[in-house]
Structure 1
């Protein structure tokens, strides 16, 4: 599990966080190269572990071009070596952490009709410990019935509120659409 609370807007990420993100992109590049070489598809457990630690990573694996995956890895390596941190790095760290929290909550409240404020607060504490990010009772209640039924919208909205960027800008930066294939 990726650790480290979300930094204040503009504050640097911990080296551990940068290293974990770099490892994720190295793994994505290896998986993409293996697929291109016609190697056997890894066991489901490989993808489950990747998605558990980095929710949204399978979207990146499927949709980011290999050169973008490599660019992100290289940018993280430069940041680890003392170079400039790009703002998408904090957004990605925040996305993974908040989505882990949202998924933790969702499976625990999906079938519940009612959720009291005290139950939501207690669940928020457990979700925060699980995901390594502060979430509150309002986040828990929103995860029960997220905007348009999509946890992604909740997470992007929370990231936007924390960073000052728009949800559309964050989403477009983190998960750009892959151009349609010709042919």
Structure 2
């Protein structure tokens, strides 16, 4: 494990589509799941994580998940127990809080991966029934995201660039840089 400055880790964070052939050790995959589980959750017991390292399942994923275009040796599937979520959060919580929570889990994965010398790629193009069948999720579990995981060839950090997201001050349309202090 490597200790990283958070600001530097955020700057270096990127999605990887090419991985080395080295398998990810099971204890390291377990630590990745731990990092995802440490992210915010509206309530405990809602998030489920399936760790996939079976080459046959990964080969099938490449066939049925259009976005799984990587050679990653492992994948994490993050899902939501919809019945439990509805019980403790209500219908709006299922649609809002659980989506925010899975995004936070992905951010934790992206940052933690760097400390372990791993890369990830959040896969966003796939059909939920395909993922459910692929990893055997019961009907009450919704697959929220799949994340490819593997070792990557070290690359130089990206060149520093300015803040590219539009930033407003107090109200939309008032540019942060041009507003009065």
**TM-score interval (norm. to shorter):** under 0.3
* Structure with more relative contact order (C-alpha pairs < 8 Å, separation 6 or more): 2
Choose between structure 1 and 2: higher strand proportion.
2
Pair member with larger Rg: 2
TM-score by length of 2: 0.25
TM-score by length of 1: 0.24
Choose between structure 1 and 2: higher helix proportion.
1
